[in-house]
Amino acid sequence: MDSGAQSPRPAQETGAPGRPSADTGTPDRPAAGTGTPGRPASDSGTPDRPASDTGTPDRQATDGGTPGRPEADSGTPGIGRRIRGLREERGISLSALARAAGVGKATLSGLENGTRNPTLDTLWAITTELGVPLAMAVGTPPPVDAGGSGRTGGIPVVHGTAVEGTLLQVFEDEGVTYELYRLVIRAGTPQVSPAHHEGVTEHVTVFAGTLSAGPAGAPLRAGPGEHISWRSDVPHSYAVLGDQDVHASLLIRYPRR
């Protein structure tokens, strides 16, 4: 605070809308429109949300104590409905899935009912336990209009501590599903993602900036025009080297279970 000020001024918010700051345990917040009295949800995309009331916190990224608190894009509909359908198809109770994924039961219930916005870490944890690609929860991109006017609807976007991923396409092959993302990785904040299910691999091509990514204990390095890949069934990290944001593509390969 300025020492010459006559009265205290409000503290700045720590996170710009649309881009979560590194979290030190800030609990989740309810999705917009939940009707929480006295605290209307913001539509700015700020990702802090109330924690589950079960006392079981969401699984967090293991980046040295700074958990990821990203949200799926607020324009991505139907996530809760899809997760409930996947869970029920497999005959798994809500309590059992919450326990296996390391998320609060109330958080999972709110997610399925559409009253909570899911974090990216929560989505990874749930889809890993269900044994499905992330796209099975966030939805597939709409088709490109034949007239050349672009996509005919909203494109799924997910946000991590440092990574913003836009899902461009989902490919199916015999025994394998591929997801293709456009990535922007922000300088200054590393991100550690939880392990995906066995056999999943990630393949990154960098277009701008310099990236360190791969298994958390042995990351790889890539600059513009370079490609790296690794097994992502272990915790893995993304970090920008230098002060220039990284622009890249990410192909995730999921063997079917």
Q: What is the pLDDT of residues 41-55, one digit of tens each?
A: 434 444 444 443 443
DSSP per-residue string spanning the chain: --TT-SS--PPPPSS-TTSPPPPSSPPB-BPTTS--TT-PPPSS----BPPPTTS-PPP---SSS------B-TT---HHHHHHHHHHHTT--HHHHHHHHT--HHHHHHHHHTSBPPPHHHHHHHHHHHT--THHHH-PPPPBPTTSS-BSSPPPEEE-SSEEEEEEEEEEETTEEEEEEEEEE-TT--EEEPP-STT-EEEEEEEES-EEEEETTS-EEE-TT-EEEEE-SS-EEEEESSSSPEEEEEEEEEE--
Residue 194: its pLDDT value, please?
86
Same domain? For 172 and 97 the reply is: no
Mean confidence (pLDDT) of the chain = 75
Tokens of 129: 């336990």
**Domain carrying residue 171:** 160-255
In this structure, are residues 83 and 137 in contact, taking their beta carbons and an 8 Å threshold? yes
Q: Distance between CA 134 and CA 197 in Å, rounded? A: 11
Domain assignment present for 232: yes
pLDDT tops 70 at residue 156: yes
CATH of the domain at 128: 1.10.260.40
pLDDT tops 50 at residue 94: yes
- Backbone phi, psi, residue 19, to 5°: -130, 105
Tokens of 118: 């899911």
Neighbour order of strands in the sheet with 220-222: 191-193, 236-240, 211-215, 220-222
Q: Distance between CA 229 and CA 197 in Å, rounded? A: 16
Measured CA angle at 45 (ends 75, 149), to 5 deg: 35
Q: What is the tally of structural domains in the chain? A: 2
Same domain? For 130 and 173 the reply is: no
Residue 147: its pLDDT value, please?
52
Same domain? For 105 and 192 the reply is: no
Residue 168: its pLDDT value, please?
93
pLDDT tops 80 at residue 60: no
CATH of the domain at 165: 2.60.120.10
Domain assignment present for 71: no
pTM over 0.75: no
Tokens of 223: 């600059």
40-49, 74-83, 103-112, 140-149: least confidently modelled range: 40-49
Label residue 20 by pLDDT band (50, 70, 90): very low
